Structure 1
Amino acid sequence: MAMENKSSAYLTNIDEVKQVFSRFDVNGDGKITAVELVDVMKALGSDTSLDEVNRIMADIDTDCDGFINLEEFAGFCKGNAAGEDDGGMTELHDAFKLYDLNKNGLISANELHQILSRLGESCTVDDCSNMIKSVDSDGDGYVNFEEFKKMMSNNPSK
C-alpha cells in the first residue's frame, strides 16, 4: 500500500472498486466465492457456465485459496484494464458485454442505469450520464470499450 505516484491514480478510485466488490460479496465476508460470482452474473442477465466462472476465478484468485478478496479484485481491475495481462482482457470484454445490453459496442446512460439498478445501486439516469461524461473521451455520450478500459483502470490519459 505504498503511496507512489504510479499507483495513486488507481487508488483514487478504490472506493468505487470497494463498492463493486461489495455487490459481488453478497454475504459481506470479505471474499467472493464462485457461487456469489454466478449469482451476480445471473442477476446481470448472463448465462455464464460453471467452466467460465471457474476460469474467471482462477484468473483473479492469485493466492489460489478458492476466493477473490478485495486486493485480488482491485488488482484485476487495475492490471487487466491497463492491458498488462492479455489473459484478463477476456474478462474485461465479458464485463463490457454485460453492460452493453443492446450489443451495439457502446454503453449508454440507460444501459448503465439498468445494470446498476439490477445490482441494487440507487442512482438516477442523470448520475449515470455524469459517470459516462467522466470517461467519454470522444464526447459521443456513450462509453466504448477503450473508454471502459480507462474507466476500469481510472487512467486519465487518452
Structure 2
Amino acid sequence: MSTPQTTTNNQSLTFTNSDEIQKVFNRFDTNNDGKISSSELINVMKAIGSDTSDEQLNQMMKTIDADCDGYINFNEFVGFFKQNAADEDEQMKELHEAFQMYDLNKNGLISATELHQILSRLGENCTVEDCVKMIQSVDSDGDGFVDFDEFKKMMTKNSGEGA
C-alpha cells in the first residue's frame, strides 16, 4: 500500500496504513458514531490552533463529504488523504521538471551560468553577476549552486506568499 500524505499549515502527516488513518479518523469522530460532523471538525480545528471560519468549514465539508449527507464517513476521509497524496506527487513531479529545465548539464545543481543562460533565453536582461546574487539568496549550504532541496524550498516559500 502506498503512503498517503497530506500537508496542512506546513506540517506533514504521513499515514503508513489504514490502522493509522483509522486512529486519526477516531480522534475527529469524538462521539464514536462512525462519521465526522461539522461541529466535530471545527472542534478539532480549534484544538490544533486553527482559526477556521464558517465559510472555510463549509468548504472543507463540501470537499470531503462526497455523498453530501452532511457527514464525513471513513471512506470519504481516506479518499481525501489519498487525493492530497496524489496532488503532492503531481506538485513534486512539476517541481522536478522545472528544476531540470534550469539544470542544463544535468549534474543536479543549478549554477549562476545555467541560470543566466535560461533567463537570457526567456528574454530577461540580467548579467551573470546578477545570477550569482540570485543563487546566493537561496544557497543555504553556501556551495555556490542551487540543489533540488534549495530549489524546492525557494519555490514552496514563494508559492505560499500572499496566500
Greater relative contact order (Cα < 8 A, sep 6+): 1
The two structures have a TM-score, normalised by structure 2, of: 0.45
The two structures have a TM-score, normalised by structure 1, of: 0.47
Q: Which has the larger radius of gyration?
A: 2
